[in-house]
Amino acid sequence: MTLRDLSINIYADGADKKGMLELYGNSLISGLTTNPTLMRKAGVEDFEAFARDILETIRDKPISFEVFSDEFEQMRRQALKIRTWGPNVFVKIPIMNSGRESSLPLIRELAQEGVQVNVTAVLTIEQVRGVSEALQAAPPAVVSVFAGRIADTGRDPAPILRAARGLLERAPRAQLLWASVREVLNIFQAQECGCHIVTVPHEILHKAIDLCGADLEDLSLRTVRTFAQDARAAGLSLDTVTETADASR
> Quick one: average pLDDT of 205-234?
95
CA distance 7 to 19: 23
Is there a single domain that holds both residue 200 and residue 238? no
Residues 25-64: tens digit of each pLDDT: 999 999 999 999 999 999 999 999 999 999 999 999 999 9
Confidence of residue 138 (pLDDT cuts 50, 70, 90): confident
Same domain? For 98 and 110 the reply is: yes
Q: Work out how many domains the chain is built from and give that number.
A: 2
Q: Do residues 158 and 73 touch, judged by C-beta distance below 8 A? A: no
Q: What are phi and psi of 148, to 5 degrees?
A: -65, -40
Query: Are 231 and 145 part of one and the same domain?
Result: no
Structural domain including 219 reads 215-249
Look up the CATH number of the domain holding residue 8. Answer: 3.20.20.70
Mean pLDDT of 17-22: 96
Query: Which pLDDT belongs to residue 1?
Result: 82
Which residues are registered as beta bridge partners of 117?
Answer: 91
Identify whether residues 206 and 239 lie together within a single domain.
no
For residues 107 and 221, state if they share a domain: no
* Residues 127, 58 share a domain: yes
By residue count, the chain amounts to: 249
